């Protein structure tokens, strides 16, 4: 399989090069030249397949011969070793729980797959690989745990100071070993900009082997398509219209869903659920993409004002605004609406959403009001365990949430971070000094 840059389709690289580079030399994102549909027999028998089997068959289409099948099976076995259950709210509505991994967030799937893939490709390299990661919360901890003590790899996490939850910050800053946390005095977009600047800086690239573990890295994105396919496999009645709501920030998760759609997943509508950072909703309405500074909210992983993966969405549909808006619905909600929704959804379904999942369910419910039928499969992605957001959930509900033991242990550890400004010169100096 070959991959091209979204800035120049003439640039073609292998999956290995796309994974280890993270970002194309021209600043573009890597995309597969084509995404083949899974065979009809796969879809016919999907209900009898395990999550690992589904993941393996899907991964082969993106990787082809670059990783031998026995090695790829080992990567899948190590990566997909926790469940993604489909919880029924009622006969038509479901929650896809993606928080059963080590860091209790959906990003564990992509981070662990990428860690194992990079370790495979990097095993014969003499020079250390340095991974730069911009995080608005969950990405950093998932990547850190996925790469912790992986030989030949160093991880630098950039997170916005005072803009992640207390638990998220503890997860980011207490791992040690080959993981370093940089506390950036700015927002997530500043962190993301710094990472992109580092990738295109000649001096840094001369000294260091740099790559990314954000969703800008195709190896982080591909495995996130696996759980969409597995969710479909878990549905009992597969012939109903399928709608999927995705809490969206940097749009990696939605893009992974679109990859699954290209593989043949019969989705009638994706719902991009947004907080007040709604540049994508504005794009759907106007046809114009106008990035702007992000605003801090309770659903902090979605606080992105310039989503990188927008370029991938545009590319998948040849910049056809009509095709994109026909497949993707979007809605935006305030913190007040989110707080009220967490309480009302518990009263209605006896299910406690985290703030991101609550925005997802709000967007799904708004979309369903536009439909004139009552027979469908509506799936909302619950991307993080609610215990990670106790400070933003109603106190009465918070008391009902069991905090997993691994979070309790994390809170007892001492934070270790290095504060830097959002000036690229400071990051450059730091990287040249390590």
* Contact yes or no for 351/97 (Cβ under 8 A): no
Angle at 116 between CA 131 and CA 386, to 5 degrees: 80
Active site residue 322: no
Q: What is the DSSP string of 346-376?
A: HHHHS----HHHHHHHHHHHHHHTT-S-S--
Alpha helices in 200-268 (DSSP H): 202-207, 218-221, 226-234, 252-263
Quick one: tokens of 23?
A: 């970002």
DSSP code for 288: -
Element (H, E) at 212: strand 209-212
**E runs forming strands in 73-198:** 86-88, 93-97, 129-134, 153-160, 179-184
Buried b (16+ CB within 10 A) or exposed e, 3-16: bbbbeeeebebebb
* Contact yes or no for 14/218 (Cβ under 8 A): no
Catalytic site residue from 21, 74, 93, 107: 107
Q: Residue 11: which of 38, 34, 37, 29 has the closest Cα? A: 29
Number of neighbouring beta carbons within 10 Å of residue 188: 30
d(CA 60, CA 57): 5
DSSP code for 84: -
* Contact yes or no for 242/376 (Cβ under 8 A): yes
d(CA 419, CA 339): 31
- Hunting for tokens 């309770």 — which residue is that? 298
What angle separates helix 424-433 from helix 188-199, to the nearest 10 degrees?
60
What angle separates helix 51-63 from helix 69-79, to the nearest 10 degrees?
130
Angle at 127 between CA 126 and CA 133, to 5 degrees: 135
Residues with catalytic roles = 107
């Amino acid at each position: 399989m070959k991959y091209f840059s979204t800035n120049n389709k003439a640039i073609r690289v292998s999956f290995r090069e796309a994974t280890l580079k993270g970002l194309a030399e021209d600043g573009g994102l890597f995309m597969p030249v084509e995404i083949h549909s899974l065979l009809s027999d796969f879809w016919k028998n999907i209900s009898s397949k395990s999550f690992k089997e589904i993941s393996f068959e899907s991964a082969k289409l993106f990787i082809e011969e670059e990783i031998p099948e026995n090695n790829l099976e080992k990567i899948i076995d190590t990566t997909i070793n926790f469940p993604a259950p489909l919880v029924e709210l009622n006969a038509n509505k479901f929650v896809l729980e993606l928080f059963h991994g080590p860091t209790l967030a959906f990003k564990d799937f992509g981070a662990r797959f990428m860690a194992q893939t990079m370790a495979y490709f990097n095993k014969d390299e003499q020079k250390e690989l340095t991974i730069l990661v911009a995080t608005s919360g969950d990405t950093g901890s998932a990547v850190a745990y996925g790469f912790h003590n992986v030989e030949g790899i160093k991880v630098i996490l950039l997170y916005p100071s005072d803009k992640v939850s207390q638990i998220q910050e503890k997860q980011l800053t207490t791992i040690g070993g080959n993981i370093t946390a940089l506390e950036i005095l700015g927002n997530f977009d500043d962190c993301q900009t710094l990472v992109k600047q580092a990738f295109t800086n000649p001096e840094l690239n001369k000294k260091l082997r740099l790559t990314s573990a954000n969703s800008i890295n195709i190896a982080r994105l591909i495995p996130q398509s696996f759980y969409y396919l597995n969710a479909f496999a878990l549905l009992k009645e597969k012939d109903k219209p399928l709608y999927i709501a995705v809490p969206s920030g940097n749009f990696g998760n939605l893009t992974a869903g679109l990859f699954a759609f290209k593989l043949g997943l019969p989705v009638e509508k994706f719902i991009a659920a947004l907080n007040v950072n709604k540049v994508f909703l504005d794009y759907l309405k106007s046809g114009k993409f106008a990035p702007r500074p992000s605003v801090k909210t309770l659903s902090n992983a979605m606080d992105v004002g310039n989503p990188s993966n927008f370029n991938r969405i545009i590319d998948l549909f040849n910049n056809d605004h009509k095709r994109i808006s026909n497949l993707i619905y979007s809605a935006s909600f305030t913190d007040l609406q989110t707080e009220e929704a967490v309480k009302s959804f518990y009263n209605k379904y006896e299910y406690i959403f985290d703030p991101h999942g609550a925005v997802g369910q709000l967007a799904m419910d708004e979309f369903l009001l536009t439909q004139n039928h009552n027979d469908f499969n509506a799936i909302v992605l619950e991307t993080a365990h609610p215990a990670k957001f106790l400070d933003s959930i109603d106190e009465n509900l918070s008391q009902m949430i069991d905090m997993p033991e691994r979070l309790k242990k994390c809170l007892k550890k001492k934070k270790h971070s290095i504060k830097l400004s959002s000036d690229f010169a400071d990051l450059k100096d730091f990287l040249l000094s390590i």
